[in-house]
Structure 1
Amino acid sequence: MKMSLLKKTNIPQILFSILVLTSCGKDKKTQTDTTQEVEDTLPKMKPLANETKISQAYINSVAGRINHFYTKNWQNNSMNGSFLVAKNGQIIFERYNGFANKNEGTKITAETPVQIASVSKVLTATAVLKLVNAGKIDLDQKVNTILKTFPYPDCTIRMLLSHRSGMRNYAYFTDRDKSVWDRHNQLTNKDILDILATKDIGLEAKTGTRFSYCNTNYAMLALIIEKITGLSYKEAMSQMIFKPLGMTHTYVFDDDKDRKKIVPSYKGNGVEIGFDYLDNVYGDKNVFSTARDLLKFDRARNAPGFLKPEILKQVYTGYSNERKGTKNYGLGIRMINWETGQNYYFHNGWWHGNTSSYIPLMKEHVTIIALSNKMTTKTYAVRKLAPIFGDYPFNFKDEE
């Protein structure tokens, strides 16, 4: 009798427990499925495989000239950083010099991620272009259809990518006026959008009328990536680019989490450069990477199916034609277009003491990468290597 009563009493409790556990299980499954769905629908980069192996004879034919450049421009100038030249994804020449952290005595190696500064723009543009390629956004889509408070109605995604929005650089309009921003606080991408939306920040030029290189464009593109993917920029870049390509030493800097572990940068005299209120803004900068990881990225941009042909053609089209000249800018890439028909693509970067140069010689399948965490403009001199591999009519006589 007592046993029967106990069983009767516990039946509702048992049923309730089963119901709760089942419900929790469904909630957990739903959350997992949602995360999986986001990852599965993300357009991702694919490695370029099975490139033609280059011969030792070819390596021997160019290594001497590369070494001569390296000795003269890099080693003899006490350069600090990473230097790599590759063809068909195979490294021909690489060197690593100087301190990753002077105080700790650690040296820069092939596995040392450094701030790649504005070369980050190439990676941000790549993520945006993959979203365009997947039909999730359109190049000529108005920015304010995605970022609802964005105050410039004529600006499109294409204009952000090609620096034709007419916006002012966030580093300038947050610099002195405390009514706009208090520099004691860390600025974020969302803060920039809020300032643009509420502080009547005028345009530098009418939208779409002229080229003006501006970091604000790429801070906004990072927010677009976040809005479309439903992920943080850091996670979206990891899922779309870094993980698929095995870029294991590449990440987006998070000032709140990474400040104590990153490779610092230095002035030319070796004095360490500290952080400032702009160090939490990403998209325009703040990717940390290595030369070898960037090589993987570069080759993936040459993989079949990276982008549809009609989109890829627009990436390497110059959009800054209001003034006659050879220098131009595409969608996330700088270029020089000579009258001979030869084209040279590249992107340089500078932030604090970090300077960087990324050069894809596309016709020759050659990649040139230079990264430095000690302030110098010598990093950009790696363009002098281009004529070793192809007909690039640079005139370097005035620079010698």
Structure 2
Amino acid sequence: MKKFLFLILTTVVYSYANAQDLSKRLDSLFNGQFTAGQINGNVLVADHGKVIYKKSFGYADIANKILNTDHSAFFLASVSKTITSTAVLQLVQKKKIQLNEPYKKYFPNFPYADVTIKNLLSHTSGLPRDMEDVFDTVLKVQPQKKFGYHDIIPALQQYHKPLAFKPGDQYSYSNINYNLLALLVEKTSKMPFDAYLKKYIFTPAGMTNTYLSSPQLLQKSDVTLRYLYPKHYYPHLKLADSIPEIANIYKNYTIFWGQGNVISTTTDLLKFDQALYNNKLVSAKILDEAFKPTILNNKQEAVAGGGVSYGLGWFILKVKPSENIVLHTGAIQGLRSVFIRNLTKQQTVIILDNAQSGTNFITASNAISILDNTPQEKVKISVADKYAKILFESGSDVAASRLIQMQADTVHYRYSAHEMDFIANELLNDSYTDKALEALKVNLLLNPTNPDMYNSYGKALNKAGKKTEAILIYKRALKLKPDNKEAQKALSKLEKDSSHN
């Protein structure tokens, strides 16, 4: 009896110590990303439904110094597609629809007869990716009109273009697919999409802080504002909706449910995760179908790229043959979301970020690696991004000294000549010519055998009126690569212009 009690006590102590160690390692991971400026939002990590790490980082409202908290709510962006998929699969389970039925059966005016419900769920329909593609023709006739997802089928009737490929032949991600699925849920359930989700998904799962955003519904005060860097070189986060280019994208559009627009919290997403595990929403048999790679007409898997396949509303990541990991990511201006579920081990990682941090998927994957005690992928900071921000705000001398430090620290920083070239050209296009010249010169000195860097520097010199210097640079580019068409054309024009002066 004493041995038995000792064994139990030892097991409890070991489990507690292990949980403490995991929490410390996760905290080190996420704090490191926060310090590097790579996370601003909420994270949650769970094992078998038990939260082992949860933390808030940064601001929900920068101007008013309101921090993100456990109660902060975020737009889920395309993570919402997992919820739309669940709604459709519920209707399959209730035998109100069948996956292989043509969508046209429910919407006779839909112009593509061969597209099935499964094609929409699996992004194998061949339909355009976004609303801008679909409404381009209509907007030319009605430039002031505002459109919503109920206008998609009439717009497709005026689209007058064939599908990109035969349905089922290829995988091609499309938000339009999921807008159409929202319409299908409404048609077959005889309920508005938001009301259906509340009754059949949010309420059964206990997701009390989750809802669909709409112009008619005033967002709750705990919804985070969304921020981004308007350009790579810009050193401060700006409110996404304050940037004219972003506001202009949406000036003709209202509600496009199905593809996104769900607002939620990390806690509520864990409740959704657990409701799926416990088959509160959909049967295990149907979910198994959703979590398998879609098979194309050629009998190959629908591959989304990077070793990731797509099922029915879920990306499928095969890291190990013995493990099944499903996930979805989301991105809109000023927001990134990641929802990863290791089905085999019942591990869950959720990141909701309201500052468009670019490394959240790798960070979430590293959290899974910590849980499994496997090597993590090193997340390195972009030298070009940091250098350009310092150059823009503090000038060339400060930027150069910082560049030398970063170049030496290869553990934490990575240098890409093409990234530096891209950001320098952003500066050039925005008429920060002197700063662009400095960045391009530095990039050229660091990459003296790359003809593309000479092309960019020559273009900037020419724009700055330094024709003689531009000619010399283009000549050097042609020595490195005699068939450099861009340099040939630019040099010919410069020499022609010089002969006329």
Q: What TM-score results when the alignment is normalised by the length of structure 2? A: 0.64
User: Please, which moves more after superposition, 284-293 or 357-366?
Assistant: 357-366
* SS of equivalent to 1:135: coil
Bigger Rg, structure 1 or 2: 2
Identity %: 28
Q: CA deviation at 1:317?
A: 1.1
Matched, 1:336 2:317: yes
Contact 1:82 1:110 in 2 (8 A): yes
| Matched residue, 1:63 | 23
Pairing 1:47-196 to 2, within 5 Å after superposition: 55-77=15-37, 79-174=39-134, 176-177=136-137, 179=139, 182=142, 184-196=144-156
| Matched residue, 2:174 | 214
Contact 2:128 2:134 in 1 (8 A): no
Pairing 1:1-400 to 2, within 5 Å after superposition: 55-77=15-37, 79-174=39-134, 176-177=136-137, 179=139, 182=142, 184-258=144-218, 262-268=223-229, 269-274=236-241, 275=247, 276=250, 277-304=252-279, 306-319=281-294, 321=300, 326-338=307-319, 340-381=321-362, 382-390=364-372, 396=378
Measured in 2, the distance between the counterparts of 1:139 and 1:90 equals: 34
Contact 1:180 1:199 in 2 (8 A): no
Amino acid at match of 2:107: L
Deviations 1:151-187 (A, max 9, x none): 1111111111110000002334156545467564432
Amino acid at match of 1:358: F
Contact 1:115 1:286 in 2 (8 A): yes
| RMSD, aligned CA | 2.6
Gaps of 5+ in 1: 1-53
Contact 2:170 2:302 in 1 (8 A): no
Distance verdict in 2 for CA 1:104–1:393, change over 3 Å:
closer
Contact 1:120 1:286 in 2 (8 A): yes
Deviations 1:3-38 (A, max 9, x none): xxxxxxxxxxxxxxxxxxxxxxxxxxxxxxxxxxxx
Amino acid at match of 2:366: K
Q: CA deviation at 1:248?
A: 1.4
Contact 1:364 1:389 in 2 (8 A): no
Amino acid at match of 2:226: S
Measured in 1, the distance between the counterparts of 2:144 and 2:217 equals: 18
Contact 2:74 2:265 in 1 (8 A): yes
Measured in 1, the distance between the counterparts of 2:207 and 2:267 equals: 8
* Higher relative contact order, chain-length normalized (CA < 8 Å, sep 6+): 1
Distance verdict in 2 for CA 1:393–1:335, change over 3 Å:
farther
Contact 1:175 1:181 in 2 (8 A): no
How many residues align? The count is: 347
Measured in 2, the distance between the counterparts of 1:120 and 1:62 equals: 29
Q: CA deviation at 1:379?
A: 2.0
Greater helix percent: which structure? 2
User: Please, which moves more after superposition, 353-362 or 250-259?
Assistant: 250-259
Measured in 1, the distance between the counterparts of 2:228 and 2:350 equals: 21
Q: CA deviation at 1:225?
A: 0.8
Distance verdict in 2 for CA 1:154–1:393, change over 3 Å:
farther
Deviations 1:14-67 (A, max 9, x none): xxxxxxxxxxxxxxxxxxxxxxxxxxxxxxxxxxxxxxxx95334113112211
Contact 1:359 1:368 in 2 (8 A): yes
Q: What TM-score results when the alignment is normalised by the length of structure 1? A: 0.79
Measured in 2, the distance between the counterparts of 1:303 and 1:363 equals: 14
Contact 1:162 1:329 in 2 (8 A): yes
Distance verdict in 2 for CA 1:96–1:126, change over 3 Å:
same
Q: CA deviation at 1:202?
A: 3.0
Distance verdict in 2 for CA 1:273–1:315, change over 3 Å:
same
Measured in 1, the distance between the counterparts of 2:88 and 2:360 equals: 27
Gaps of 5+ in 2: 1-13, 230-235, 242-246, 382-411, 413-501
Deviations 1:56-100 (A, max 9, x none): 334113112211211212344262211111112221111112222
User: Please, which moves more after superposition, 355-364 or 76-85?
Assistant: 76-85
* SS of equivalent to 1:301: helix
Q: CA deviation at 1:322?
A: 5.6
Contact 2:135 2:155 in 1 (8 A): no
